[in-house]
Amino acid sequence: MTDELSTNVRRAIAAHDARVREAGLELWLGAEPTFTDPTSSAPEWNGAAVGGDKEERALALWVALHEKTAPVVRPPRSSEPPPTTGRRQLALRTLGRQYPDEDAPRFSLGLYAFRDGSPLCPATFEDPAFTAVQSEARGAALADALARELRATRFEVEGALPHRMITGTDPRDARCLRAPLEGRAIPESGLVDELARDGFLLVCVGEESTPQGPCAVLELPAFANVDGFVSFLGALANACLTSETRTLILRGHPPPVDARVRFATLTPDPGVVEVNMAPCEELSEFAAQVHAIHEAADDVGLAAQRRHFNGELSDSGGGGHLTYGASSPEGSPFFRFPLLLPKLIAYLNRHPSLSYYFGGHAAGSAGQSPRADESARELFGELQLALHRLVRDLETPESDDEVASRLWSSLAPFLADRFGNTHRSEINVEKLWNPWLPGRGKLGVIELRAFRQAPTSAHAVARAALFRAILARLAVHDFPIALRDLGADLHDRYALPFFLESDLREVLGDLERAGFGLPPALAHELFADPHRVYGEVELGDPNAPVTLTVRRALEHWPLVGDLSQQAGTSRLVDPSTTRVEVRVTGPSERVGRVSVGVRDGENVFRAPTTYVDDGQRSTVVVGVRFRAFVPNLGLHPSLPARDPIELVVSVGERHYALALHAWIPGGGVYPGLPKDDAEAAKRRLDRFVLRTPPVAKYVAPPAGAAGRHTLDARWL
């Protein structure tokens, strides 16, 4: 079940919004939560973008979201007239995104509404997914009535959507005879309505079969603005009433939006259904929408996490990206504060926790969200130069367009993966001021992508508040726009959860000093991350025990194969390497005598240990890498797997052997997927086998095996 937002969290959200308003900042935020069927092994829920029952399940989520997110109209005061009646949220099945290796756009299910709850049009028609009432599919009658409302010329064509009308031009114009948009490829130049661009509206009507029966279908033209679209909806509502059309599917061009409107969509992505939220002006609105989305997903059997047979938990697989901007491109904080984006790049560079802590188990240059300093080595110095030039260039007052263009053209080449794909970057600037992305490129928006899907709505809200606070802090206060070369520590030290947590606490302290600190209720949610824990036990003297905790750490899976052939939307990586963190915590005099190693035959290869004392307790932190399985296609074909990986932990004269199994110790088959998180946790703990071994014989690891913080057991 989804979590309820506690009173403390709601108060914290209100305090955050008040602080941002007090600073005079406009910082709109949005997200793209993704959900999967955690009980299914079908392709559409494990890697395929479309197929199977995905559209059917998306329709169910669409209906649930319609019920939970419909605008709420404030009851009138005694001196006010009653609110105007009518449709306050419109269901649309307009064209979705089309990716380079796909033949046609994916489906898109939209919900369109005025933010203030004003009606869009009279409620004379409904999409068949939302009503049990089914009218006769009378497409020709609807087209006749609508043509009269629009004062358009009616005509007929052969094939699909045959009942048509055109305003302002002769139907003999060849463009009036075009095929329906549904199922056709979008041209490389983008989805353009040439007739609408010239001031004419072509409306196409037909019928199609649905599970509820035959239904009228209308293909929307492109509208230049919201007012024109709402005017059309009024005419359409009247035509539906006249023609007795109660059920109607609206397809075609996506509708126009401005600051008055919110438009959310559901679209398919590999393994998941993605909810593209409408941007929210404040965190309180964002929290209400996110909670409703999580609740709706739960109602229809979709989940934010996957449970695996061996008890491992992972996110849905689609990510949980965040977007930031303003109500209009002109008001974007990245243009109002031209150094905000360069500062953000520098801030993320200094704080790897913001790149890794909220992500999945794998990251790095081959991941979905590589850092700006994680690409080819020679680009690091070039990025430093680009930031230096920007600081100098933006000191001279320029027009808003020049500022926007300079930011995008200077930084976009560095905010991309190693193939130059700007969509795959920790900071995605595709929609900032991109002249090559028709219709969506110049929105003044950035997307932050280094997130797995949040397990709960409260966790999603805390993340959104954290990064909104960071942007506010950077907009209002100075921060050095200079990069720090973290070298090997980036993929060694900051692969371990202990150091990511420490770094995240530094970020929270910085925000507090800058006046944008997160209230404790939100900060607490950020560290709620139990799915990483394999097991935790107390060792040694019962009167002065130490706590041994083993967590899954971060790994940086490398690309495999002929990279020139990997030009689609996926990349082949070698996922066979796993990294774990061994953490021993307790009294200083006990922890100071801790050693950790990996057993290989008669030897125990000593791992590098990092000793940390915060004044209250001490901790030893160790990282261990190993090959967990042999992939069908991967690196190092002769390298065997270590299952189990056997660790030796010594506390003074006491020695313990810890075997971490990938599957059921001793063999066997799980009866099915874990039914809940508690059963998943038990399966992880069952794989965590602790015993007392003979006296450990520690030896130094071979050259290449030991980094500053991690022992790579693949070298043993």
The residue written with tokens 């950790």 in the block is 596
Q: Which residue from 293, 183, 318, 290 is spatially nearest to 525, judged by alpha carbons?
A: 290
Q: Mean pLDDT, to the nearest integer, of 98-118? A: 91
For 153, which DSSP code? E
DSSP 614-626: -SS-EEEEEEEEE
Domain tally, the chain: 3
User: Binning pLDDT at 50, 70 and 90, where does residue 699 land?
Assistant: very high
The domain boundary, picked from 222, 249, 266, lies at 266
pLDDT for 2: 45
Q: How many helices (H) and strands (E) does the chain have?
A: 16, 28
User: Binning pLDDT at 50, 70 and 90, where does residue 397 land?
Assistant: low
Proportion of the chain above pLDDT 70, given as a percent:
96
Same domain for 569 and 556, yes or no, is yes
Same domain for 260 and 281, yes or no, is no
Residue 408 pLDDT exceeds 80:
yes
42 inside domain: no
User: Binning pLDDT at 50, 70 and 90, where does residue 492 land?
Assistant: very high
671 inside domain: yes
pLDDT for 696: 72
- pLDDT 10s digits, 209-226: 888 888 999 999 999 999
Same domain for 537 and 493, yes or no, is no
Same domain for 176 and 262, yes or no, is yes
**Distance from the first to the final alpha carbon of the chain:** 45
Same domain for 495 and 577, yes or no, is no
Helix (H, G, I), strand (E, B) or coil at 249: strand
Proportion of the chain above pLDDT 90, given as a percent:
70
pLDDT for 134: 72
Same domain for 499 and 517, yes or no, is yes
Which helix (H) or strand (E) segment holds residue 275: the answer is strand 272-276
The radius of gyration of the chain's CA atoms, rounded to the nearest angstrom, is 28
For residue 396, CA distances in Å to 341, 399, 401, 479 come to: 17, 10, 14, 19
Return the top range by mean pLDDT from 90-104, 457-471, 568-582, 600-614: 457-471
Q: Mean pLDDT, to the nearest integer, of 48-65? A: 95
C-alpha span between 152 and 666 (Å, rounded):
76
662 inside domain: yes
36 inside domain: no
Q: Mean pLDDT, to the nearest integer, of 240-269? A: 95
Task: Give the type of residue at 682.
Answer: K
For residue 31, CA distances in Å to 3, 297, 451 come to: 18, 15, 11
**181 or 3: which leads in pLDDT:** 181
HSE-up of residue 125 (Cα within 13 Å, Cβ side) = 30
Same domain for 147 and 224, yes or no, is yes
pLDDT for 1: 36
Is pTM, for the whole model, over 0.85? yes
Same domain for 372 and 424, yes or no, is yes
Q: Residue 677 is part of which domain span?
A: 530-715
Same domain for 415 and 556, yes or no, is no
HSE-up of residue 475 (Cα within 13 Å, Cβ side) = 20
1 inside domain: no
C-alpha span between 305 and 683 (Å, rounded):
16
- pLDDT 10s digits, 94-106: 999 888 778 889 9
Residue 500 pLDDT exceeds 70:
yes
Same domain for 518 and 583, yes or no, is no
257 inside domain: yes
Q: Find the range with the poorest average confidence among 94-103, 198-207, 629-638, 667-676.
A: 94-103
DSSP 518-552: PPHHHHHHHT--GGGEEEEEEES-TTS-EEEEEEE
Average pLDDT score, the chain: 91
Helix residue ranges, H only, 48-138: 54-69
Kindly give the pairing relationship between strand 248-252 and strand 261-269: unpaired
Same domain for 221 and 355, yes or no, is no
The domain boundary, picked from 245, 266, 287, lies at 266
Residue 253 pLDDT exceeds 80:
yes
For residue 256, CA distances in Å to 114, 184, 222, 226, 227 come to: 12, 21, 8, 5, 9
The domain boundary, picked from 224, 243, 266, lies at 266
Q: Mean pLDDT, to the nearest integer, of 477-481? A: 96
Q: 146 with 203: CB under 8 angstroms?
A: yes
The residue written with tokens 């045959």 in the block is 162
Q: Find the range with the poorest average confidence among 88-92, 321-325, 696-700.
A: 696-700
124 inside domain: yes
Same domain for 236 and 153, yes or no, is yes
User: Binning pLDDT at 50, 70 and 90, where does residue 360 land?
Assistant: confident
Q: 553 with 712: CB under 8 angstroms?
A: no
39 inside domain: no
